[in-house]
Amino acid sequence: MGKRKYFGTDGVRGVVGGDVINAEFALRLGYAAGKVISREQPAHRRRQTVLIGKDTRVSGYMLESALEAGLASAGVDVLLVGPVPTPAVAYLTRTWRLDAGIVISASHNAYFDNGIKFFSHKGTKLPDAMEEAIEAALEEPLLCVSSEQLGRARRIDDAPGRYIEFCKSTFPSDLDLGGLKLVVDAANGAAYHIAPHVFRELGAEVTAIGVSPDGFNINRDVGALHPEALVEEVRKREAHLGIALDGDADRVQMVDGTGRIYNGDELLFAVVRERLTRAPVDGVVGTLMTNFGLERQFKAMGIELARANVGDRFVLEQLQKRGWLFGGESSGHLLCLDCHTTGDGIIAALQVLAALQRSGQTLSQWVHDLRMYPQKMINVPLKPGSDWKSHAGLAQATREVEALLGDRGRVLIRASGTEPKLRLMVEADDDDLATSCVQKLAAVDLT
């Protein structure tokens, strides 16, 4: 991926009212995207058409209108589906044979942030070359096609229902969720009117929380980043399991009846173990942060784990390159490419539930063989521009720590992408060993 001025690893994101997340920029971005889409993906039997979905942030109204105006001025038609999960936009874009999909969301961030990301006509993240073309088009004058060529916009009211049916279709037809008491936390986000229905219509008894969005409470003390509310409700309701999504419903965490929280690594193991009972699994893609315990367990099962950079975009790129189907992040972004083209929190949860229903085991029993390694991380200040990779003292300390760990763990050192800090992480099969090793690294004077 080349140097970008606006696009990060997952579209454009920032504080509402800032340099990029404002009405003027969204108008120009819509126009630029419309020009590129018209040039890159010419329609043979119809006009170019783009779908716009959003989460529940109050700023979504402003950005939606501005993007719509920009696209229309470029001669592109627009379908507006309102609040739906990010993976719903990917699904609808692909199945409706549209030219692109746009999501207005800042995922797990607070309401005062927002973002704009794109899906291709295939329901996958936009190719790098197309993002670069849009950035280039942003530097061109904002014009307008002739009146007879202007795009039109219309609202689609049944998008949530269509997506609910799609999610249900990924659950095995010979199973149901009858007898399960679930708590579903939609983070006051895009799945508030979708997720509870999916699990309820498959037979579960569902208690829903985080389903009262007001434009400002998305991700606030609920959802995948704040599972404490889910833990409390699961215990209160004596539920079997809890499912926590984030604001745009592309990540998931789960909680069992004891209140234990299961992260993305454990849920990925649960899904892959079930798939392995039905067919060989050649490999799985994790990230640099994927727990070493998962890598060792997969190795024992004859499954290769490849590590991508942090970000579900990079996980997807590795899966496509290798021809594999399963991957994910510790944060709960899980990809099951035999079900969907992108990460989907609802569908990932359904795959875990299918494994439990088919096996007759609890989640704790199903992942019992997976031994998660303690991870210890220390962030140390780093002078901007410092060449920490060539620091002799850090290199020496790293060699010493790796010698101490042997095959009992691993070291990960990486610079923060958002602040002047170096992130030092050590995983080991023993908590004290991990702690002492990371402290040894942190003791190095980087000045």
Who has greater pLDDT, 94 or 447? 94
* Residue 44: pLDDT band with limits 50, 70, 90: low
pLDDT of residue 42: 54
Say if residue 59's pLDDT is above 80: yes
Say if residue 43's pLDDT is above 60: no
Short-list 376, 375, 373, CA closest to 439: 376
pLDDT of residue 417: 67
Q: Measuring CA to CA, how many Å separate 184 from each of 52, 209, 217, 241, 340?
A: 26, 6, 17, 9, 21
Q: Which residue has the tokens 């219309």?
A: 154
Say if residue 312's pLDDT is above 60: yes
Number of residues that make up the chain: 447
Give me the mean pLDDT over the 218-226 stretch: 96
Give me the mean pLDDT over the 105-109 stretch: 94
pLDDT of residue 386: 83
* Residue 109: pLDDT band with limits 50, 70, 90: very high
Give me the helices (H) in 14-127, please: 23-40, 60-73, 86-95
pLDDT of residue 416: 78
* Residue 284: pLDDT band with limits 50, 70, 90: very high
CB atoms near residue 393 (< 10 Å): 11
Domains in the chain (CATH in brackets) are: 12-158 (3.40.120.10), 181-258 (3.40.120.10), 263-372 (3.40.120.10), 375-442 (3.30.310.50)
Give me the mean pLDDT over the 23-29 stretch: 98
Give me the mean pLDDT over the 264-270 stretch: 98
Dihedral sign for Cα 291, 248, 67, 99, please.
positive
User: What pLDDT, in 10s, does the model give residues 341-372?
Assistant: 999 999 999 999 999 999 999 999 999 999 99
Short-list 255, 8, 180, 15, CA closest to 113: 15
Q: Measuring CA to CA, how many Å separate 394 from each of 239, 414, 420?
A: 49, 12, 17
pLDDT of residue 45: 52
pLDDT of residue 32: 97
Say if residue 431's pLDDT is above 70: yes
CB 9 within 8 A of CB 22: no
CB 428 within 8 A of CB 405: yes
d(CA 445, CA 246): 38
CB 86 within 8 A of CB 123: no
pLDDT of residue 10: 81
d(CA 8, CA 241): 35
pLDDT of residue 249: 97
Phi and psi at residue 328, to the nearest 5°: 170, 180
374 secondary structure, DSSP code: P
State percent of the chain over pLDDT 90. 90
pLDDT of residue 323: 97
pLDDT of residue 2: 54
Who has greater pLDDT, 35 or 43? 35
* Residue 270: pLDDT band with limits 50, 70, 90: very high
State percent of the chain over pLDDT 70. 98
SS3 284: strand
Say if residue 41's pLDDT is above 70: no
User: What pLDDT, in 10s, does the model give residues 388-428?
Assistant: 999 999 999 999 999 999 989 999 998 876 678 899 999 99
* Residue 116: pLDDT band with limits 50, 70, 90: very high
pLDDT of residue 436: 95
Positions marked active-site = 107
Q: Which residues of 419-444 are buried (b: 16+ CB within 10 A; e: fewer)?
A: eeebbbbbbbbeeebbeebbebbbeb
Short-list 259, 234, 244, CA closest to 211: 244
SS3 content of the chain, % helix, strand, coil (to 5): 35, 20, 40
Tokens standing for residue 78: 């627009």
Dihedral sign for Cα 76, 77, 79, 82, please.
positive
User: What pLDDT, in 10s, does the model give residues 140-188?
Assistant: 999 999 999 999 999 999 999 999 999 999 999 999 999 999 999 999 9
pLDDT of residue 420: 84
Q: Kindly report the average pLDDT of the chain as a whole number.
A: 94
Say if residue 337's pLDDT is above 60: yes
Within 8 A by CB and 6+ apart from 346, the residues are: 85, 87, 167, 191, 194, 195, 198, 245, 249, 252
Say if residue 9's pLDDT is above 80: no
